[in-house]
Structure 1
Amino acid sequence: MKTEVYLVRHGETLFNRLNKVQGWCDTPLTIKGIDDLKKTADALSQIHFDNMYSSDLKRAIDTVHLMKDANQVSKIGKIKKLPEFREVFYGSFEGGSIDDIWLGVSKAAGIPATTDVKKIIDTIGIYKFREVTKKADPLHLAESTEELETRMCRAIKVLRKETSGEGRVLLVSHGDFIKTLGIKYWKENDGLHDITFPDNGSVSQGILDEEGNFEIVDYNCKAEDL
């Protein structure tokens, strides 16, 4: 059977608020983040889910429990954590200033220095952007295009296995990872161009078919649009 997947981005965190790089490192949800998530949870409270999942990072786990506690029509047991849906890894840039990482990436790309990540991506392309980020990382630990693609494909396979027999599920993941899924799987994108970064607490909807094919049919929806 086909499975509807509601992809939720976690709420605002301390590092989001401080404009710091947050991939595999983790910081708590802010009060604003929790308040915004309550709006998303309320918008989804009357939608039945057969199960709920999350990345294994705490900001995602805290988010999925807010969704679970607010839902009035689902009987969800223990939340299963799927590490494949972690955020993109930024290596030694983790915890640093977001402006500093993009200055370093623009320098490594050989383009005029900028803190505007959209300008960098528009100039060098979304796939080269990952390679240049890895190059700019002093320890070269940041995920490359190939590494991220491999993990993303593994994530879809794991999700298909976990959700077998489930008609609708909710999954909490992260901004850059959801965006990367959108670039590849959103039906309104050609897979080659950048798309809008999803908002904290936003919902993207996908369909996972019996063969494991995945398509995103709605992307970055705010609570009031659900």
Structure 2
Amino acid sequence: MATEVYLVRHGETMFNQLDKVQGWCDSPLTVKGINDLKRTAQVLSQVYFDNMYSSDLKRAIDTVHLMRDANQVSEIGKIKKLPEFREVFFGSFEGDDIRDTWKQVAHAAGLSNEDDVTRIINQVGIYEFREATKQADPRHLAENKAELDERMIQAISVLGDLSRQEQRVLIVSHGDFIKTLGIKYWNKSDGLHDIIFPDNGSVSRGILHENGEFEIVDYNVDAKDI
């Protein structure tokens, strides 16, 4: 049985608002983030889900609780937290100023005087950007392409095992992780180049097939357009 997967990005956080690097480190949802999520939750309130899951980071947990509490047609009990769906890990850069971080990453990638992540990726490619981030990290802890690929595959496998008897599930994850899933699994992506970063509270819809294969069929859309 195939499982329909609604991937929701968490709401805006304080670190999003302050332009700080936010991967495995956490910060609370802002008032705007909560209000945006309430609109998403209201749109999804009449969609039946067999289950809901989330990353184990608090901003995702808070988001999935909003989704569950607003839903009027599902009976969701305790929500299982899946660390495999955490945000991309930025190592020593966690919590640092975004532009200062991207300057260091750009330098490691052979670029100078660049602090905009989109322009860096457009010049060197998403995979070289991952490698440059790990290289620029003083402790080399940031996830590179190979490490992130391995975690994505594990995430899909874990979700497949959990949802084997479920027709539709919702899982709250994170912007860069959902984007990386999109690069790999979205049927409109070539699997090589960067794609747009998903909005806070947006929905990407995937199909997890019985044989374990996964595909994203809708990416970064307003819940009302699903």
Give the AA of the match of 1:138.
P
Deviations 1:118-171 (A, max 9, x none): 111111111111001000111111001111000010000000001011000000
Superposition misfits of 4+ residues, deviation over 3 angstroms: none
Deviation at 1:113, TM superposition (A): 1.9
Q: Over aligned residues, Cα RMSD in angstroms? A: 0.7
Partner of 1:191: 191
Partner of 2:116: 116
- Is 1:70 matched up with 2:70? yes
What TM-score do the two structures reach when normalised by structure 2? Answer: 0.99
Q: How many aligned residue pairs are there?
A: 226
Per mean C-alpha deviation after superposition, the further-off stretch among 60-69 and 103-112 is 103-112
Write the mapping of 1:132-211 to structure 2, written as runs, cut at 5 A.
Answer: 132-211=132-211
Give the AA of the match of 1:22.
Q
Give the AA of the match of 1:164.
R
How much identity, in percent, do the aligned residues show? 71
SS at match of 2:210: coil
Mapped to 1, the partners of 2:218 and 2:114 lie a distance apart of: 31
Partner of 2:87: 87
SS at match of 1:218: strand
Gaps of 5+ in 2: none
Gaps of 5+ in 1: none
Partner of 1:34: 34
Give the AA of the match of 1:81.
K
Deviations 1:56-112 (A, max 9, x none): 000000000000000000000110000000000000000000101110011111113
Mapped to 2, the partners of 1:178 and 1:159 lie a distance apart of: 14
Per mean C-alpha deviation after superposition, the further-off stretch among 106-115 and 49-58 is 106-115
SS at match of 1:176: helix
SS at match of 1:195: coil
Mapped to 1, the partners of 2:35 and 2:125 lie a distance apart of: 36
Give the AA of the match of 2:83.
P
Mapped to 1, the partners of 2:92 and 2:173 lie a distance apart of: 22
